[in-house]
Amino acid sequence: MTVLDQFRLDGRTAIVTGGNRGIGRALATALAEAGANVVVANRDEESGRETAAEIASETGADTLAVPVDVTDEAMVEAMVETVRAEFGTPDVLVNNAGITINVPAEEMSLQEWRRVVEINLTGAFLCAKHAGRAMIDDGGGSIVNVSSVSAFVANHPQPQVGYNASKAGLEGMKNQLASEWAEYDIRVNNVNPGYIATDMVEEVLENDETMANAWRRRMLQDEIAPPETLGPLVVFLSSEASSYVTGESVTIDGGYTVR
C-alpha cells in the first residue's frame, strides 16, 4: 500500500454529527472525497437531506441523512441501527455537533449551562457509546471528537465558560475511551481547532471588529480559516494513515495557542 493509499476510506462508513453545515459539512465532504459512505446526522431534517444529496452529487459517494438530536439517547441508538442496516457497521464517528452560549459566568443560568454541556459533551458520549458498541461487535473503528482550543485555553474577550468546560470534558472522555477501547481496535482522538469561519464566528467577523481583531492578534497566521482546512486532518485520523495514533489531541489553530 502506498502512503497515499493509507488515507483512502473506500468501503468505510463515516457518521458526522452536525454534518449538515459549517465544519461538519466540510468534514463529511472530505470523508466522502476519501471514499467513505457518509452519514449526515443532525436535527434539521431538510438541511440534512439537502447536504447529503449535494455531497453525493459532488463526490460520487453514497450518503444518507439521519435526523438525530445527539442529546436523545433513543434517537442516537436508532441512528446507529439505521446506519448498520443501510451501510453496515460504522467505521468512523466524527462527533462534531456543538453549540456555544456566550454569557458572563455570573449570569449563566443552570439551563444554559446544561444545554451546552448536554450537546457538546453528553451528546458526544452518547454517540460514542452506541457507535462504539457497534464497532466493538465488528472489529474496531476510529472516533474523532471535534473539540476546540477552548479545551486548553481561556478565550478572550467573549465569555463562554460552559463551552470551555464542555470541550475540556471531551479531553478526559477521549483519554478514557481510547484506553478502555484499545483492546477492541477502536482509536479515539480529538481535533482542537482555533477560530474557523462558520455561522458560529461569521457574525462576529461581520459585526464586531473589536472582538475579531482581539482574536486575530493572538494568531500567528493572519486569517480565520475556512472549515475545509480541517478536512485533511480528520481524514488522517479516520484512516489507516493514523493507525498508531490514539488518545491524542491535535491542535489546528493558525498558531492561536502559541502566543
Q: Which residues bind ligand NDP (CB under 6 A)?
A: 17-18, 20-24, 42-44, 47, 68-71, 96-99, 119, 123, 146, 148, 193, 195-196, 198-201
Kindly tell me which of 138 and 228 has the beta carbon lying closer to ligand NDP.
228
Nearest Cα to Cα of residue 258 among 163, 152, 175:
152
Min dist. Cβ of residue 96 to ligand NDP (A):
5
Give the active site residue among 163, 195, 244, 256: 163
Is 163 among the residues known to form the active site?
A: yes
Min dist. Cβ of residue 225 to ligand NDP (A):
9
Kindly tell me which of 18 and 141 has the beta carbon lying closer to ligand NDP.
18
Min dist. Cβ of residue 12 to ligand NDP (A):
22
Kindly tell me which of 13 and 71 has the beta carbon lying closer to ligand NDP.
71
Q: Which residues are the active-site residues?
A: 163
